Amino acid sequence: MPIPVGPPSVHAHRVRGLLVNLSLSVVVTVALAAGAEGLARWLERPVPVVPLADTHGLDWQEEWQDDFYVMKSEAVGWPPTQDFNRDGLRDRLHPQEKPSRTYRVIGLGDSVTLGYGFPREQAWPQALQERVNARGPGVEVFNVALVGWSTRQERYAYERIARRYHPDAVVLALVLNDLEDLQNNLSRPPRLLVELYKRSALIRWAMDPEGREIRSVEELFRQPETSKVTAGYRRLFAEIRLLADDVRRDGARFVVMICPDADQVGSDPPPPAPQERIGAFLRSEGLPAIDVLPALRGDGPDGFMDRIHFTPRGSAHVADAVLDQVPPAAYTTQPLRDALGARGEAPDPGLASLEALTALAGDASPVVRREAVWAIGRRGSVSERALAALDGALADSDPSVREESARALARVAAAGGPAGERSAAANAHLVALLDDPHQEVRWAAADALAARAVGIGTDLSWPLHALESPDAYVRGFAAWTLDLAGAAAVAAAPALERRLHDPEPGVRTLAVRALGNLGTGDPSVVAGLAGVLAHGEGEARWRAARALGKLGPAAAPAVGALARALSDADQKLRYESALALVQIGPSASAAVGALVAAKHDPVPEVRQAAERAIRTITASR
């Protein structure tokens, strides 16, 4: 029986009508958007699209995948030529324990403070260290800076790194492009809009990045009252205020140094509007400021490498300006001056007789003793009697005197001081100080032994003992000393093998280097290095490949590990493994298959090393 079908319900009719209207709306909207996009593209100037917040500054997310970074480093202080320390900063390693009678200064900054373009010793914090060292003992300067940091990263660096060293003063080196980086990164829209901005002329027009982003430091001079520049200052001042609160809460002094733009020392400098605006803010906050523009005017363009970076000459003048903010009481030698005057000597330690300084190294006051050994060390070349005084000071009851005496002995050695029995006795006492209960004394002793080029001679006992030190700096020094000794230290191989499992990655790497230079193909050494190659991490892996190569055919048992390393993701490891197989020679025939595959490596150097290895291995066939 057929089922009767009636007319559609009123509800169904309304639904169909709604769908039709919705479809028409979508079509019209898309058409209008497409038309608007087409018009925007037609009107848009034909210039490359500049990604948001990536103008002359850095896009933090794009560069770092975060808003902070440090360099990856496993350094433990050795070899001394390492540019970055274990904090990932371009500075020497500093003891975390703060020595008594020491004033610590933190230099916070970016590439300008780091010393971009020249050796780190010429950066202004290191130049400041040299200046205070010449005036007296007791000041320790840190360089806490990296390329691309702005005031926000510098605040993070204080909170995450510098604070744990308990500084007495923090100098924030403010560079004018900080405003650009802060404004452009912190005003970024959500990532979806950023992606749309890259693809749509209409979105670019609607978002008006020109009206929000600071395109150049020049805008701080030419357009100082625009909303974007004002917003940049507001963000900068907020960061400074937060950092200042942190530093002062920790009981340290906070100083802001304003670094100028190179145009400000040129022949037609713009008015110092940024300095005046920042200075007014700092005065309102009760914060001391250092304006280094006057100190750099005399050098003119010679003080700058480019728009913002100093030359070594300019950096030196900046250090002079900062020195005025270090309280003289931190490095005073007034107690020594008073003691010299009481003996009828010239009160200036640089003019007093060496005999008087030598006598005062045994003064009743530890402050005078410390200053006396400092003054002796500044003389460089000294008498046997003065050397005996420094040697005796190594056993002083005060750790600051022991530390300063070790540093003085290092300076004397650098100046070509006397050798002989007294010098040998000082070396023995320095070795004993590697076990000192105070970290700063242990480190100063290791530094002095290195400066005095104290090798192992025929005595392996002290570096073997130092390898077991609880202090990673001392263990690293011992491994480095054995590395320099080479084949003469072959008996230290078992102790170095144990250091392949050291808790500090840097010590493990130094042990690998040393084992490669001992020249012993002992099976346990080869096995240990192969284990690091296969299961280690970081620099130690490619160092292990290099060390195995130095052992030549004796490293044949590690050929399998080297062959597997040829397909590792680390191109440095692949390269060093191929070179090691070259040095092993025909005994590495089992690696030929892996080497043939390595001939197609994306890195040219790896391909060339693989081809060379194949020729070497198959030459005798």
Q: In this structure, what CATH number is given to the domain that contains residue 393?
A: 1.25.10.10
> Are residues 262 and 345 both part of a single domain?
no
Task: Tell me the CATH number at 316.
Answer: 3.40.50.1110
Q: How far is CA 143 from CA 37, 175, 221, 381, in A?
A: 50, 16, 30, 30
Share of the chain above pLDDT 70, in %: 86
- The backbone torsions φ and ψ at residue 558, rounded to the nearest 5 degrees and listed phi first, read -95, 5
Report the alpha-carbon distance of residue 486 to residue 489 in Å, rounded.
6
- Cα 406 → chain centroid: 26
The domain tally of the chain equals 2
> Are residues 277 and 339 both part of a single domain?
no
- The backbone torsions φ and ψ at residue 212, rounded to the nearest 5 degrees and listed phi first, read -115, -35
Decide if 266 is inside a domain.
yes
Report the alpha-carbon distance of residue 298 to residue 293 in Å, rounded.
9
pLDDT at 619: 84
pLDDT at 383: 87
Q: Judge whether 303 and 117 are in contact, CB under 8 Å.
A: no
175 forms beta bridges with: 259
Decide if 250 is inside a domain.
yes
> Are residues 180 and 294 both part of a single domain?
yes
User: Does pLDDT of 80 surpass 80?
Assistant: yes
User: Does pLDDT of 550 surpass 70?
Assistant: yes
> Are residues 116 and 247 both part of a single domain?
yes
Decide if 620 is inside a domain.
no
Report the alpha-carbon distance of residue 147 to residue 117 in Å, rounded.
11
pLDDT at 423: 77
Expressed as residue numbers, the domain containing 374 is 333-454
Reported as a single tens digit per residue, the pLDDT across 4-14 is 555 556 666 67
Confidence of residue 151 (pLDDT cuts 50, 70, 90): very high
Report the alpha-carbon distance of residue 167 to residue 102 in Å, rounded.
10
Q: Judge whether 407 and 444 are in contact, CB under 8 Å.
A: yes
Q: Judge whether 53 and 210 are in contact, CB under 8 Å.
A: no
Q: Once rounded to an integer, what is the mean pLDDT over residues 51-72?
A: 65
Q: Judge whether 136 and 173 are in contact, CB under 8 Å.
A: no
Decide if 570 is inside a domain.
no
Helices (H) and strands (E) in the chain, counts: 30, 5
Q: How far is CA 74 from CA 77, 473, 541, 611, in A?
A: 9, 12, 13, 33
Terminal CA-to-CA distance of the chain, rounded, Å?
A: 96
Q: Once rounded to an integer, what is the mean pLDDT over residues 332-361?
A: 96
On the 0-12 / 13-18 / 19+ scale of CB atoms within 10 A, 383 is middle
- Give the residue from 299, 328, 357 where a domain finishes: 328
pLDDT at 191: 58
Tokens representing 390 are 């420094």
466 forms beta bridges with: none
- Give the residue from 404, 435, 454 where a domain finishes: 454
Tokens representing 200 are 């749509």
pLDDT at 416: 72
pLDDT at 546: 97
Reported as a single tens digit per residue, the pLDDT across 469-513 is 999 999 999 999 999 999 999 999 999 999 999 999 999 999 999
Q: Once rounded to an integer, what is the mean pLDDT over residues 70-88?
A: 92
Residue 476 three-state SS:
helix
> Are residues 125 and 225 both part of a single domain?
yes
> Are residues 360 and 319 both part of a single domain?
no
Q: Once rounded to an integer, what is the mean pLDDT over residues 285-311?
A: 94
- The backbone torsions φ and ψ at residue 600, rounded to the nearest 5 degrees and listed phi first, read -105, 15
Decide if 231 is inside a domain.
yes
Report the alpha-carbon distance of residue 159 to residue 246 in Å, rounded.
8
Residue 175 three-state SS:
strand
Q: Once rounded to an integer, what is the mean pLDDT over residues 326-352?
A: 96
What's the whole-model pTM score? 0.85
User: Does pLDDT of 84 surpass 70?
Assistant: yes
> Are residues 323 and 389 both part of a single domain?
no
> Are residues 142 and 251 both part of a single domain?
yes
Q: Once rounded to an integer, what is the mean pLDDT over residues 249-275?
A: 94
Q: Once rounded to an integer, what is the mean pLDDT over residues 240-266?
A: 96
pLDDT at 49: 44
> Are residues 444 and 360 both part of a single domain?
yes
pLDDT, greater one: 202 or 443: 443
Decide if 580 is inside a domain.
no
Kindly report the average pLDDT of the chain as a whole number.
Answer: 89
Q: How far is CA 4 from CA 7, 11, 13, 110, in A?
A: 10, 19, 19, 84
Residue 2 three-state SS:
coil
Confidence of residue 336 (pLDDT cuts 50, 70, 90): very high
DSSP 8-state assignment for residue 47: -
Reported as a single tens digit per residue, the pLDDT across 422-463 is 578 889 999 999 999 999 999 999 999 999 888 777 789 999
β strands within 146-302, DSSP E: 169-175, 253-259, 289-291
Decide if 523 is inside a domain.
no
> Are residues 318 and 338 both part of a single domain?
no
Decide if 202 is inside a domain.
yes
> Are residues 153 and 279 both part of a single domain?
yes
pLDDT at 179: 87
Q: Judge whether 169 and 252 are in contact, CB under 8 Å.
A: yes
Do the bridges between strand 169-175 and strand 253-259 make them parallel or antiparallel, or are there none, so unpaired? parallel
Q: Once rounded to an integer, what is the mean pLDDT over residues 297-307?
A: 92
Q: Once rounded to an integer, what is the mean pLDDT over residues 526-543?
A: 96
pLDDT at 19: 75
> Are residues 296 and 337 both part of a single domain?
no
- Give the residue from 405, 420, 454 where a domain finishes: 454
DSSP H or E run through 105: strand 103-109
DSSP 8-state assignment for residue 397: S
